[in-house]
Every structure is written in structure tokens, then in C-alpha cells.
Amino acid sequence: MRMLILSGKEALHERIKDVRPIEKALSEYIESRKVYEPILCYYDTPNKYGVDPVARKAEAIREYVSNFEKKLGDFDILLLLGGDEVIPFFRLENPCDDADEMVLSDNPYASRDDNYVIPERACARIPDGENSDFMVRQLNKAVRRNGKSFGLTAKDWQKASENVYQPVGAPEELECTPPVTKDDFKEAWLQEKDYLYFNVHGSKLSANWYGQEGAHYPVAMGTDNIVNSSGVVAAESCYGAYIIEKTKNNAICLKFLAERDVVGFCGSTTIAYGPAQPPSSEADLLVKYFLEYLEQGHTLSESLRNAKLDFARKSLRRHGFLDDDDTKTMLQFVVYGDPTLRVRPSQKGEFVC
């Protein structure tokens, strides 16, 4: 099992000023992950492997990873260290007729060929949060298993959400919004959990997530509802993983990651789709597969990659092709956090994938 940790030194310095705490944490991280054979490399700095530095552009960085593999052989895991300003998301053509001008995606980094809809590498990203402490914290996290889960769904999507939540929790225990609102949201719901699941509305302009019952869209939760939370977050909300020009103060995903015991966040960078009723499809199906793989003992990054592979297989069996909604779903979901962490121990050993 081999892992490439990739960042841009100049870009990282621009974001967080002093990179020394990050490099110290990375050195300790690499030492503790020997089974993964991690290699740290900056795409904008000369290296001992003879791979030429490149500009801060998504296509160039992807080619850099390809050239790195030509020199050293394939990597199983790719960890992107930094937000969009450090390692840019790919801006891909939106296959759907909706308000998104483009789809922000890490899929091309996870793929070795031109068909980057289906990933080959396990890939995760640790955003920079404009703060070195934020990044160091992600590298130092450990899973504290509690055996409990929490789920929150928009009232109109309750039946669909129950089907997704089933692999990790009792469907009848899902909270619905409404009646839940931001004002009566219980902080304890998010504490001492293994999984936190959300199927609610989101917006890239707002720091809140919203419920729905008919034409009523109450504020379901905000960043200030996240206190001492724990577990892996799986969110179907539109823009749940949107971090462009965001901080932990105005992005729920970054606020979750700032928590000591939240070890990962899986979500969509753009408008996501899902059915109101079972059977699961689109975002519902992808997140369901993600949770199932976590429960089987796979790592965060493996679980998303495997979920996308299963999602593609299921869609091809259903339709014979990936339709526009399927394609967008495959492209828009990303995972933030340490790619090697797992909620359940692997049957082959804690660190064996």
C-alpha cells in the first residue's frame, strides 16, 4: 500500500504563512503510517525524484502526479494537502441543467486516464482552513469508537433517508426537520457518535442547513450547533463540501473538521440530487454505499472510491449508461480528512486495506 501526499509549498505558505508546524506534523504522520509507504512531495518545488515542478493549475498538477507514478510506480492513495487555493479543484462541465456553472471535483486526481468519472486511486483532501493548527489537527486525529450514530433528514425526504441510514443506525431514530430547527437542535445529538448523517438542504451562500416540509424550509442547524462533535460526517446537502473562500465560521463542513473528534467529512461541492422515496439513487445511493464500506472496515478514502465504483456498476445495470444526474453525483462528492482512518477495524488488521 503506497501513498502520495501532495501539496504546493509556495501556495501553502501564502495561505498559512508558517509551514513549519505542518511539516513537523507531516514528518510525524509519515513515521506513524509506515505501512502505507507515504511520500511527501511539493508540486512547485524541485525534488530528489527528478519530477519537474509545475504551475498551480489543476491539469498541470494532475500531470505531475502521473509523472510521479511513471518514476516510482503507482500509488494506491493520494492525499491532497490544502484547499482550492493550494491544490485547485477541477472545474468540470456540469452535465445537468441547473444553477451550477461547473462542477468542482477531485475525481481527475483520483483517475489515471481520460475517463475521470470513475476513480482508480483512493483520494482524500485535507483543506487548509487558512490556519496551520487546523491542518495539524487533521493529521493528528484518531477514531474514538462509540457504537452510536445520529441522522437528520428533511421531513419530505424521511423515507428515502431511512433507507440510506439503515447500514449505520435504526431508521426510526432519524430526527426530522421540521419539527427540528436550529433553535432547539441538541448539541448532544452530535457527540460521542461514530457516524453523523444529514439529508437536508444547503447553500454556498449560507452557513446554515435547512429542512423541508412542503413549501416550509426551516433553518435546521448552523455552525454554532456543532460543539464537541465526533465521528465521520456523511452529508447529502447541496454545497455541503463547498469550501471556496470559506472558514469554519461560515461553512458547516469546516466547522465539523475543526472538531477534535470529527475524523472525516464526505459531501458534495455543488447542487446534489436525490429521490424523495426509495429506492436509493443519485446522492442517496452513493452515500449509502459510502457508509456500508465504512462499516465493513474500509478507510475513508477507500470507502468513497469503492462507493463510486459500486454506484457506477448499479447505474449501468439499471440504465446501461450513466445519465447526467449520475455523472454529476460521481464528480461532485469528495472526502475531507486523513485518508487512512477507518471507523471499524479491518478484519485483516487495523491498517490493512
Tell me which amino acid residue 280 is: S
Position 108 scores a pLDDT of 98
Going by C-alpha positions, the residue among 251, 174, 186, 182 that lies closest to residue 219 is 182
Position 254 scores a pLDDT of 98
69-104 per-position pLDDT tens digit: 999 999 999 999 999 999 999 999 999 999 999 999
Position 346 scores a pLDDT of 79
pLDDT > 70: what percent of the chain?
98
The DSSP element (H or E) to which 62 belongs, if any, is helix 58-72
Q: What is the mean pLDDT of residues 168-197?
A: 98
Band (pLDDT 50/70/90 cuts) for residue 339 is: very high
The C-alpha angle 102, 106, 110, rounded to 5 degrees, equals: 140
- pTM comes to 0.96
CA dist 273 and 328 (Å) reads 9
Return the C-alpha cell found at 349. Answer: 488488521
Position 235 scores a pLDDT of 98
Q: Cβ contacts of residue 207 below 8 Å, gap of 6+?
A: 222, 223, 249, 250, 251, 252
Angstrom distances, CA of residue 21 to CA of 115, 136, 153, 337: 37, 7, 39, 18
More confident residue, 234 or 316: 234
Position 99 scores a pLDDT of 96
Residue 348 pLDDT greater than 80, yes or no: no
164 neighbors 199 (Cβ within 8 angstroms): yes
Angstrom distances, CA of residue 180 to CA of 64, 175, 186, 267: 47, 7, 9, 22
Q: What is the mean pLDDT of residues 324-342?
A: 97
310 neighbors 280 (Cβ within 8 angstroms): no
220 neighbors 208 (Cβ within 8 angstroms): yes
The owner of cell 471535483 is 105
| SS3 label, residue 179 | coil
The owner of cell 465504483 is 309
Band (pLDDT 50/70/90 cuts) for residue 350 is: very low
Position 347 scores a pLDDT of 65
| Residues facing residue 126 across a β-bridge | 81
Q: What is the mean pLDDT of residues 206-216?
A: 97
Position 33 scores a pLDDT of 92
235 neighbors 154 (Cβ within 8 angstroms): no
Q: What is the mean pLDDT of residues 157-176?
A: 97
Q: Cβ contacts of residue 190 below 8 Å, gap of 6+?
A: 150, 196, 225, 226, 227, 228, 229, 230, 231
Residue 353 pLDDT greater than 90, yes or no: no
Band (pLDDT 50/70/90 cuts) for residue 351 is: very low
30-63 per-position pLDDT tens digit: 999 989 999 999 999 999 999 999 999 999 999 9
CA dist 314 and 327 (Å) reads 13
Residue 155 pLDDT greater than 70, yes or no: yes
Position 317 scores a pLDDT of 86
The CATH class for the domain spanning 149-336 reads alpha beta
Return the C-alpha cell found at 131. Answer: 490556519
Q: Cβ contacts of residue 91 below 8 Å, gap of 6+?
A: 58, 102, 103, 104
Tell me which amino acid residue 331 is: L
Band (pLDDT 50/70/90 cuts) for residue 152 is: very high
Band (pLDDT 50/70/90 cuts) for residue 320 is: confident
- Delimit the domains of the chain by residue range: 3-139, 149-336
- Superfamily name and number for 3-139: Gingipain r; domain 1 (3.40.50.10390)
Average pLDDT, the chain: 95
End-to-end CA distance of the chain: 8
CA dist 147 and 144 (Å) reads 9
DSSP 234: E
| SS3 label, residue 302 | helix
| Identical topology for domains 3-139 and 149-336 | yes
E-assigned strand segments in the chain: 3-7, 38-42, 77-81, 90-93, 102-105, 122-126, 149-154, 175-177, 195-199, 209-210, 219-221, 230-235, 261-268, 333-336
